[in-house]
Chain A
Amino acid sequence: MVIRYSTACVKDYVAKCGAGPDLPLTIPEGQNFRFWYDMAGFQLFTAWENGDVWGSDFRDAAGGDVAADGGSDMPDIYLYAGHGICQNPPKATDPDFIVVCGNFGKPDVDSIGTDCGWGNPPGRSKFIFLDASCPMDLISIGNNWFPVFRGLHVATGNSGTTNADTLDSATRGGQFAAYTAGFLWFIPHLSVGDAWMITGIIDVQPGCCAVAIAAGNDRNDAIDRRENEKVTDNRSDPTPNWFAWKWVCA
């Protein structure tokens, strides 16, 4: 079984998009992530950085997310590292965002709940890891995340506020990849959910939460995927009748 993965890491925001700040640790975070997955024998699909990460890569409706040159719904596993938007505090009706600064594929801001949909057509992305800021607020998880599961298995992100945010980190993504890759017998091999509960609270402010959500055909299936599904399991796509999510707060 060949596992295909992509990384999309945005450092440069200020010069081209006039908003910021820049995030200098996203690029090394992507390098660290790729190091472990490359060692595991996973196949790199795309590794775009900065302006080569486009807003359209995440949009389902126009088919940008299945673009052969970098759509987020093309590989089995997709890591995004860059800005998001936190509310203070978020409400159930607030959107979650991905904010890039692309050379093309405008606009740069995607509302996850309305713009994104992963896992369609069948066999597309199984795991989405968003290492941004507040891309998975607990209070709005039903509005923003249930609709995007269209074959997707498990997704990870953080829930927080402007005062309990993620910090730019070169470490978080790499350690997550090391725990999930499962190719070194002397390093614990963890499920996606368990690995994110350990590594998703690296370099975050107190009160910021690591969140992992899974879909399932029924309740037991969703819970089983949340607790046990590994990136190497090669499980079939779930029908998203049920969702199970868990979180831990720093």
Chain B
Amino acid sequence: MSAKNEGYSEKEELEQLRRTGERIFGLKFDTLERAGSEANFIAYKSKSLLFSSRLDSRTYFVQDLRYGVGRELGVSKASKREQLRIGRTILKKVGIPSSEVAEHKVVTEKSQTAQVDKRGDKVEPGEVEGGRNLMLISRKIEGLPVWDSNVVIGLTENKQIGFMQLHWPEIPAHVVREAHKLAYKLKREWSPPTDESASVESAEAGITHSPAIGFVMDIFPAIRVIYRSKENLGRKKVLYLDRHGKSVPLPRQAEMPFSPPERRSPPKSEGA
């Protein structure tokens, strides 16, 4: 093999991954436990730290086992402004343009405890406490939402990455173009299908794709229609439709084995 092709070897690929972890995400690996590729992932795992990346998408995961409430590296107490600054720096280093950031915010986990008295009829709740701060970043392309792209980052007390899911796949130009056409049609000539049991709450053109953890990557332009139940039932119905009003395929997480549904036998006595 020529020296020129060495960059395609798995050894070099793993070395690049390690460098990406250290230089872009500031990771400090301790004793190496395992490194290699499996399925559509490549990963570098040390005693405390996992850093992995998908081979078919701009998708990274970081997990530091020492991060979290009550754990060795704790959780960030930095100001939201400081955390957002760190987030912007990470995005820039990864090559994500700021124009693709739809919303960038920090949300704080809250926690509470309560003791139930011996008779079980009295509750004594404690104070609400703060937990992890999670940076959440959502995506748009040319003004179109990309619903399944996101970044979630939790920082340790010393502002290192304790957890990260960065899922920001490349979107083909023809998908963006069709999404623009859907937005155009939605404004002028396209009406969402009606549902007798629900009213249309919103309709918006955008892009849907497979989620962060998965073995395949599907990407589709779609109009997302959200319905509100007339009977006040919650978990709102959502349809992802194409320009003809037909459902687009659901972005897959994996190839699903086909298993025909079984039928359940009636109970021996009603109300059982």
With A104-B267, A248-B108 given, is the CB distance from A133 to B233 under 8 Å?
Answer: yes
- Whether B70 sits at the interface, judged by CB under 8 Å, is yes
Complex CA–CA separation, A25 to B248 (angstroms) = 12
Contact A85 B132, beta carbon cutoff 8 Å: no
| B residues near A28, Cβ cutoff 8 Å | 250
With A25-B238, A198-B165 given, is the CB distance from A188 to B256 under 8 Å?
Answer: no
| A residues near B34, Cβ cutoff 8 Å | 185
- Whether B113 sits at the interface, judged by CB under 8 Å, is yes
Q: How many residues of B contact A (CB 8 A)?
A: 71
With A24-B239, A171-B148, A243-B114 given, is the CB distance from A104 to B266 under 8 Å?
Answer: yes
With A23-B237, A133-B234, A168-B237 given, is the CB distance from A246 to B254 under 8 Å?
Answer: no
CB of A130 to closest CB in B, whole Å: 10
- Whether B107 sits at the interface, judged by CB under 8 Å, is yes
Specify which of B116, B229, B254 is in contact with A20 (CB 8 Å cutoff).
B229
Number of A-B contacts (CB under 8 A): 214
Q: How many residues of A contact B (CB 8 A)?
A: 85
Interface of B is mostly: strand
CB of A183 to closest CB in B, whole Å: 12
- Chain A 20-40 against B: per-residue CB contact (8 Å), 1 yes, 0 no? 111111001001100100000
Contact A246 B111, beta carbon cutoff 8 Å: yes
Specify which of B43, B136, B261 is in contact with A186 (CB 8 Å cutoff).
B43
Contact B211 A175, beta carbon cutoff 8 Å: yes
Specify which of B233, B266, B271 is in contact with A83 (CB 8 Å cutoff).
B233
| B residues near A133, Cβ cutoff 8 Å | 233-236
**B123 closest partner in A (C-beta):** A142
Contact B132 A165, beta carbon cutoff 8 Å: no
Complex CA–CA separation, A185 to B36 (angstroms) = 10
Specify which of A35, A56, A104, A205 is in contact with B253 (CB 8 Å cutoff).
A35
CB of A71 to closest CB in B, whole Å: 10
- Whether A122 sits at the interface, judged by CB under 8 Å, is no
Interface centre among B41, B42, B234, B247 (most CB of A within 10 A): B234
CB of B252 to closest CB in A, whole Å: 8
CB of A53 to closest CB in B, whole Å: 9
Contact B234 A48, beta carbon cutoff 8 Å: no
Complex CA–CA separation, A127 to B43 (angstroms) = 30
- Chain B 138-179 against A: per-residue CB contact (8 Å), 1 yes, 0 no? 000000000110001000000000010100000000000000
- Whether B220 sits at the interface, judged by CB under 8 Å, is no
Q: A24-B237, A185-B43, A190-B63 are in contact. List 18 more A-B contacts (CB 8 A).
A: A13-B233, A14-B197, A21-B237, A24-B239, A70-B264, A142-B123, A146-B114, A165-B234, A167-B235, A167-B236, A168-B237, A186-B61, A187-B213, A223-B70, A227-B68, A245-B112, A246-B112, A248-B107
